[in-house]
Amino acid sequence: MCLHDLTDGTLLALLDSATVTAWRTGLAAALATHVLATDQSAVVGVVGAGTQAAMVLAGLTALRKVERLVVHDVVPERSAEFLTTQGIPGTTATSAQEVAAKADVVVLATWSRAPLLTAADLRPGLHLTTLGADEPGKIELSADLLRNAGVIVDDWALAVQMGALGNVGVEAKHATLSEVLTGTAAGRRTPDEVTVYAPVGLPWQDLAVAWPAYLAAKETAPTIDFLS
């Protein structure tokens, strides 16, 4: 990823795009999860115990108290390993349904091509963050679930075209995250509402992460030639 000076186009730094995107996705998801979950939500469920879920937890634990984890992965060993690396008490689960039954917040970060949770799996007040449905064909949440939830997206057109909504033929949405953060739309409307954050990922967010990363690197090692 190339970071340029806006005044004269000078190349300031080259950044690893995969790392920047992982942090961008994780931190944006953590912020949305914190804003949309109830204040009492302290048990976090993870479906897909990989790097992306870990990024979300890193951001979420900086925003609120996470008392316990419930983790499920198609490879059971990964669930156990994820728990040990996070340093938060918790248990493993044998299915996404078990995670939804035990957690207040569920973060899904998988490559699934079929729904992992449906409306029948939900409890009042649950919040779900679905990160896997970021391109055509990828599905984590069913159509009936999304139709009956308060769905927050990062970009409406993209969510319908290639995200969690469009991939299951749902067009209804509640608001964008920008609208919620600026106060032009409510996030969670009632304590019992099921909320969903369903982003597709926006490139400008990579730039938003790249700039402070560049400034921090300069401050930490001001004599390094970042382009050498």
Q: CA of 59: how far to CAs of 27, 32, 169, 191, in Å? A: 5, 10, 31, 23
Asked, for residue 227, whether it belongs to a domain, the answer is: no
Asked, for residue 1, whether it belongs to a domain, the answer is: no
Banded model confidence at residue 224, pLDDT cuts 50, 70, 90: low
Asked, for residue 221, whether it belongs to a domain, the answer is: no
Asked, for residue 222, whether it belongs to a domain, the answer is: no
pTM of this structure: 0.89
Asked, for residue 207, whether it belongs to a domain, the answer is: yes
| The length of the chain, given as a count of residues | 228
pLDDT of amino acid 225: 58
pLDDT of amino acid 60: 97
Count of structural domains, the chain:
1
Asked, for residue 53, whether it belongs to a domain, the answer is: yes
Domain membership of residue 183 as a residue range: 12-216
User: pLDDT digits over 127-145, tens only?
Assistant: 999 999 888 899 999 999 9
User: pLDDT digits over 13-55, tens only?
Assistant: 999 988 898 888 999 999 999 999 999 999 999 999 999 999 9
d(CA 147, CA 142): 9
pLDDT of amino acid 174: 86
Of all residues in the chain, what percent carry a pLDDT higher than 90?
75
pLDDT, the chain, mean: 92
Q: Is the pLDDT of residue 227 over 70?
A: no
d(CA 143, CA 195): 14
What does the block give as tokens for 39?
A: 């204040």
CATH number for 201:
3.40.50.720
User: pLDDT digits over 81-103, tens only?
Assistant: 999 999 999 999 999 999 999 99
Half-sphere exposure (Cβ direction) of 23: Cα atoms closer than 13 Å: 13
Asked, for residue 84, whether it belongs to a domain, the answer is: yes
d(CA 24, CA 224): 25
Where is pLDDT greater, at 162 or 180?
Answer: 180
Asked, for residue 7, whether it belongs to a domain, the answer is: no
Banded model confidence at residue 221, pLDDT cuts 50, 70, 90: confident
Q: Is the pLDDT of residue 2 over 70?
A: yes
Name the H helices within the chain. 17-36, 51-63, 76-86, 96-102, 143-147, 156-162, 177-182, 203-220
Beginning with the edge strand found earlier in the chain, give each strand of the sheet holding 150-153 in spatial order.
Answer: 90-92, 68-72, 43-47, 105-108, 127-130, 195-197, 150-153, 175-176
